[in-house]
Structure 1
Amino acid sequence: MAYQKVEIQFNGQPLTIETGKMARQADGAVVVTYGDTKVLCTAVSAHKLREGQDFFPLTVNYQEKFYAAGKIPGSFFRRERGTTERETLICRLIDRPMRPLFPKGYMFETQLMPTVISADKVNDPDTLAIVAASAAVEISDIPFNGPIAGVRVGRVGGTLIANPTLLQMAESDLDIIVAGSREAVIMVEGESDYLSEEAMLEAIFFGHAALQPLIEAQSKLRELVGNVKREFLSPVVDPALEQRVNALAADKILAAVKIRTKQERYAAVAEAKSAVKEALAVEFAGREGEISALLGKVEKRVVRQMIIRDKVRIDGRDMATVRPITCEVGVLPRAHGSALFTRGETQALVAATLGTSSDEQRMDNIQGMEFKKFLLHYNFPPFCVGETSNRLFPGRREIGHGYLAERSASKILPKHDDFPYTIRIVSDILESNGSSSMASVCGSSLALMDAGVPVTGAVAGIAMGLIKEGDDVAVLSDILGDEDHLGDMDFKVTGSAKGVTALQMDIKITGVTKAIMQLALAQARDGRVHILGEMAKALSAPRGDLSQYAPRITTIYVKTDQVRTVIGSGGKNIRGIIEATGCSIDIEDDGRINIASADGDACKKAIKMIRDLTQEAQVGKLYLGTVRKIMEFGAFVEIYPGTDGLVHVSELDTERVRNVSDVLKEGEQVLVKCIGVDKQGKIKLSRKEALGQTAPSEG
């Protein structure tokens, strides 16, 4: 392939897409450059179909090379190992808008590998990776109904910005990624500081307009390359078989899907399908795969027709009704905060744990070291859907769902300076029939309030669905798992009555219009307000105190030049305090010291030990000290831990003293008075001026 390059101006600087120089044996390979950030993406699709393949095996492997930022990985082996959480989340950002645009029935194994090969720490590579993935497929011979592009939208001072720099994002009250085609928005994900639905909608379609030049650039590159797409014809359905399946299955499946309990409904649908397969086993022998696929189409059609035509959903609800909700708090006696949130047949057990800065998550990536003080982990065990599995670790879906809930819940947390805890939330899904990530958002709010975290308010989440048949549209609130599977959209929205804190949209069609999104956001707000009302019945405000099992963090301050004294040589002093008290102690360079312990007395002891180390001698004050060293010219007396002063021989007594050892012995206590501190901080003490005085009381 000959070298080709397209360059456009984007936000005032060049953005280039080039091909024909790197990775030339891939079906498609491009390098997208913006500033000094470069993303190489390759696309390869198999030419042979795996036997028995019945789904589209698309894999996206996004990787950030440490050399891209001039860094060596901090791992033991000093190389990139596995996929980080950030990389996993970006894989999902690329997969979700790309997947719907491959031809229906295309089931050849396909792999996209976006790799960050240069990072300028100014321009985030994630949206460039979306563009690179689309461009790599677009210029290849792989069938694809693209191109698409993605941009990040921020808002600084009320002004929307496409692909803002990392510095601008630090000032932004909005962070969303919008992916779309020429015609429509395909994917949205992000967070905001309680922006209104109208402001979110404006930002989404601002992003859609902003990405159009990126789509045009890809189309231009494809024309320059001139690749012809490989021939692919969607599988042809046998009309006779389809007619027989429809005739036998439609009524049976329609009756089955009206059963409102999930497990009973699944059993009835499976029984109906099994009966049809058995009836056709002889007539259409050896075509079980085709029959199964057609039965799936029948189920999808009858459910969608029921919703569009009859305005009735699988469980009997109308379009906007939310399933029954029950909330309990304090369900785990030893957890710092806990909640059990149940919505229909979806249930989340959520626990909040408070820790110290030593519990922060430290992550090294190409942007630098990141310290996370708030973590939300979402777990989806197989039993929650009545299944078994050998998988022990969270998959990409669980990481993505947890991150969405984390983004939402983070908006209600107090400032870290006011509440210096590391907070970990765990949401274990115990039952699932749709919207489990949104149950995690609701449960997280309740668990935080139960833990006594002074949150700014509660947030709730709701998943919206879509059934679109021609011009007929139904937007569904609080979707079931089946409505997600058989529908066209999963649009999750979180926030409060004030506005939106996070959202995520996935679709299975080629795009959604502004009118549909406007309706979905408005309906989501109504549902969200209803859910918040149900949550308030269990707990409407944070508890007045932390759990008795949670550490109490007390913050004290010392002078910055005293930090070294508190730490001590090789950490001797601070280790001694920790060992003596059992407290967890974190020291900041600015002199702030956080002392954490569930034992109040231990905390007080640690504070006293630190104050003893950092107190300063006051001229005229009496001290009961300990003689540490005898010299010819006087004695060094420790007036508080780690601080000595000199009692000169002339200050030992009212009478002349020939030998210091005649008056003082090492280790004995002596009452002294501070008579001066010189510019170097050296303390002058007098025993003579303390004679006849009374020793100061402790405390």
Structure 2
Amino acid sequence: VLVVNPTMDKMDQSALDIVVAGTRDAICMVEGQAREVPEALMVEALEFAHGYIRLIVEAIDALRERAGVDKMPFTPPEMDPEVPADVAETASARLSEALGIREKQVRLETIEAIAKETAETLLARYGQELAERRAPMIAAAFDDLKKQLMRRSVIETNIRMDGRRLDEIRPISIEVGVLPRAHGSALFTRGETQALVATTLGTSRDEMRLDELTGDEFRRFFLHYNFPPWSVGEVRRIAGPGRREVGHGKLAERALEPLLPFLETYIPDEGEDIPDFPYTVRVVSEICESNGSSSMATVCGGSLSLMDAGVPIRRPVAGIAMGLIKEGDEVRILSDILGDEDHLGDMDFKVCGTARGITAFQLDTKIKGLSREVMERALEQARAGRLYILEKMNAVLASPRPDISPYAPRIYTIHIDPDKIREVIGPGGKVIRGIQDATGAEIEIEDDGTVHIAAVNKEDADAAIAMIREIVADVEVGQMYHGTITRLMNFGAFCSLPGGKEGLIHISELAPQRVREVTDVVNIGDEVDVKVIEIDKMGRINLSKVQADVELGRVNPDQLRNSGGQRDGGRSGGGRDDRGGGFRPGGGDRNRRPDRDRDRGGRGRR
């Protein structure tokens, strides 16, 4: 169902997002994005939109009449009828030959030389004063003559200025992986238009932040298009992005975006699996040479570059620019137009899409009215050209590479209890910064407990994951841990445990022999292995260093049996359980445990 001026909510789920501008008689401009829609639906949408444009134009006319304002008259500049005839007589033959030169730069230089010679010839014929007055007319007449000759040649011969048939695509050359350190790259050449496209993978910290009318927006995929002056043989100051860079870049971005399943805007097919791809993706297109359709070369190169980078794009995307020449009832539709065919023709229709349908489009017309038949022919011819280009692309790289570049950051995802996020972050971010400094990895935590770890190699990522798992791990009785002595008391030492916890190693659990002073065995900052022997009802953790040493083979079990009652620091009953031959939790007798607990609790640990 086609809807005019849909709400924002409806647009999020729409298969077609189109903006149409026009007059009462014709559509002037079209731009938009689609989710692989068929050509027939596109034609229907344009006619549907034009019907509402007529209603708006009628309302504007009614408003003008009510306001009593007449339409501003326009009188085109008059040209002396002698000038066009003299220009045609002087330059027509040579200009026709020049327009048949296939190399763009040679053709432009030849035409420029003919224009200069024509002006000089007419200067001698008119005299200095008249020639200066008619100089603008001479230049305009020369441009009109060039346009007439090119258009007449196409209409009469069905052969274009570079010798191609109307529906013929320029020779295509494709290379992928041309930039070895880039995460993905492609060099796409079509005739005299060439785009070098690179893909870079980053983390969520690299997302583009946009201040939209609807609030802040973060984009995980964006494309930048650069058109340096030397790509068309010019020299000028390079400033910030201009109209071309912004418009062409956005068109190419719209063409590729519907095929990226890891984006939130993606609408999956029924039963389709969505891949886990937590990267931010930036595509940059550098136009190395341009003779028309550089934005469509960006689409083709961008699709190949994404696949070379291992980005899970669903299907390859290609773009083609269509042109039109209309003289009376004669209509010629041109595929893959040149820059001059865009400038001298009547339409520039850029169509992007996959083998299934259209994903982006842009239309500019210079004539009044395009019939439904002409639009259908143009779209069908564009589809045939798109399929031809896709065939060339698939012959080089038909699907994404199975793995990302070794130079791209590796992002691993784990899940933790959301209640433990604060433990991983730490006060003021101290803990998470410590992990990042120690491993060189980047860590990002979402509110649902999803943790993304990005690192340049698997070893660094594994180290960061191990540190996080250690922090969030639940301490279990019978398990051994590696910790650091944090505090000393006269009855034992406190040792750090995973998750920012602490446990007490009672003096009787420090060594197999009797210990008079805690500092005889451990000091603050010592790293020790301990075994959890008890977690009491209050959640306090009791540890044993000596039992860990026994299990690790550092202490002979016979030493424990021979130590007798010396291990409890002289307490009655010894430290052993005579019934089992082993040690009771805490190592001391039951009569001394309450005193020990009071000592721990009285020092404000909890």
Structure 2-normalised TM-score? 0.83
- Measured in 2, the distance between the counterparts of 1:678 and 1:575 equals 34
Amino acid at match of 2:451: I
Larger Rg: 2
- TM-fit CA distance, 1:685: 2.1
1:285 aligns with 2:285: no
Contact 1:673 1:690 in 2 (8 A): no
- C-alpha deviation, 1:551, in angstroms: 1.0
Note if 1:539 corresponds to 2:397: yes
In structure 2, distance between residues paired with 1:447 and 1:313: 32
Alignment of 1:486-525 (within 5 A): 486-525=344-383
1:653 positional shift = 10
Cα distance in 1 for partners of 2:203, 2:285 equals 21
Q: Is the 8 A contact 2:476 2:532 kept in 1?
A: no
Q: Which residue of 2 aligns with 1:204?
A: 46
- Partner residue of 2:8? 166
Give the letter aligned to residue 532 of structure 2: K
1:314/1:691 CA distance change after superposition, 3 Å: closer
Counterpart AA for 1:431: E
**One-letter code aligned to 2:297:** A
Conserved? CA contact 1:253–1:272, under 8 Å: yes
Matched residue, 1:379:
226
Q: Which amino acid aligns with 1:285?
A: A
| Aligned 8 A contact 2:207 2:218 in 1 | yes
Given that 1:185 and 1:513 are in contact with CA atoms closer than 8 Å, whether structure 2 keeps it comes out as no
Q: Contact 2:171–2:191 at 8 Å: present in 1 too?
A: yes
Alignment of 1:606-645 (within 5 A): 606-631=464-489, 635-640=493-498, 642-645=500-503
Per the alignment, residue 255 of structure 1 pairs with 97
Q: Indicate conservation of the 8 Å contact 1:467/1:488, yes or no.
A: yes
Q: Who is 2:542 aligned against?
A: 685
> Which residue of 1 is the match for residue 303 of structure 2?
445
User: Aligned in 2, Cα 1:231/1:212: closer, same or farther, shift over 3 Å?
Assistant: closer
- In the alignment, the residues of structure 2 paired with residue 688 and residue 671 of structure 1 have an alpha-carbon distance, to the nearest angstrom, of 5
Work out whether 1:558 is the aligned partner of 2:416. Answer: yes
Structure 2 match to 1:236:
78
Partner of 1:134: none
Whether 1:671 aligns to 2:530 is yes
Q: Measure how far apart 1:292 and its partner are.
A: 0.3
Change beyond 3 A, Cα 1:215–1:229:
closer
Q: Which amino acid aligns with 1:172?
A: S
Q: Does the 8 A contact of 1:617 with 1:674 survive in 2? A: no
Sort the Cα spacing of 1:548 and 1:664 in 2 relative to 1 into closer, same or farther, 3 A: closer
SS at match of 1:349: strand
Question: 1:299-698 counterparts in 2 under 5 A?
Answer: 299-416=146-263, 418-631=276-489, 635-640=493-498, 642-646=500-504, 666-668=524-526, 669=528, 671-676=530-535, 682-687=539-544, 690=547, 693-695=550-552
Ranges in structure 2 where 5+ consecutive residues have no aligned partner: 264-274, 555-606
Does the 8 A contact of 2:474 with 2:499 survive in 1? no
Q: How many Å separate the matches in 2 of 1:584 and 1:426?
A: 24
State the 1:618 CA deviation: 1.9
- Secondary structure in 2 aligned to 1:220? helix
Deviation at 1:631, TM superposition (A): 4.7
Asked if the contact 2:480–2:529 (Cα under 8 Å) also holds between the matched residues in 1, the reply is no
Report if aligned partners of 1:374, 1:423 keep a CA contact under 8 Å in 2.
yes
- Contact map agreement 1:651 1:685 (CA 8 A) in 2: no
Query: Within 2, Cα distance between the matches of 1:455 and 1:696?
Result: 54
Structure having the higher helix fraction is 2
SS class of match (2:376): helix
Q: Check 1:662–1:597 CA distance in 2 against 1; reply closer, same or farther (3 A cut).
A: closer
How far the C-alpha of 1:651 sits from its partner, in A, is 8.4
Change in CA separation of 1:653 and 1:285 when aligned onto 2, cut-off 3 Å = closer
| Distance in 2 between residues matched to 1:291 and 1:692, nearest whole Å | 100
The match for 1:77 is: none
CA contact (8 A) 1:336 1:351 kept: yes
Q: Distance in 2 between matches of 1:688 and 1:599?
A: 35
- Please state whether the residue corresponding to 1:430 is helix, strand or coil: strand
> Do 2:529 and 2:548's aligned partners in 1 also have CA atoms closer than 8 Å?
no
1:18 aligns to what?
A: none
Distance 1:311 1:696, change over 3 A: farther
Distance 1:257 1:363 in 2: 46
Aligned in 2, Cα 1:267/1:658: closer, same or farther, shift over 3 Å? Answer: closer
Please provide the CA RMSD for this pair. Answer: 2.6
**Secondary structure in structure 2 of the residue aligned to 1:211:** helix
The match for 2:583 is: none
Which residue of 2 is the match for residue 218 of structure 1? 60
2:385 partner SS: helix
1:3-59 CA distance string (max 9 Å, x none):
xxxxxxxxxxxxxxxxxxxxxxxxxxxxxxxxxxxxxxxxxxxxxxxxxxxxxxxxx
| Structure with the higher fraction of residues in strand conformation | 1
Structure 1 residue 636 displacement after superposition:
3.2
Matched, 1:182 2:24: yes
Shift of 1:683: 4.3
Query: 1:482 aligns to what SS in structure 2?
Result: helix
Partner of 1:295: 142
Return 687-696 or 437-446, whichever deviates more: 687-696
Q: Distance in 2 between matches of 1:365 and 1:395?
A: 20
Residue segments in structure 1 that go unaligned for 5+ positions in a row: 1-158
Q: Secondary structure at the match of 2:47?
A: helix
Instruction: Measure, in 2, the Cα distance between the counterparts of 1:678 and 1:223.
Output: 88
Number of aligned positions between the proteins:
537
Partner-residue secondary structure (3-state), 1:411:
helix
The answer for the alignment partner of 2:590 in structure 1 is none
Relative to structure 1, is the Cα distance of residues 507 and 337 closer, same or farther in structure 2, using a 3 angstrom cutoff?
Answer: same
Q: Secondary structure at the match of 1:596?
A: strand
Change (3 A) 1:470 1:688: closer
Q: Which amino acid aligns with 2:50?
A: H
Q: Who is 1:266 aligned against? A: 108
- Partner SS, residue 3 of structure 2: strand
Measured after TM superposition, the shift of residue 512 of structure 1 is 2.3
Shift of 1:352: 1.0
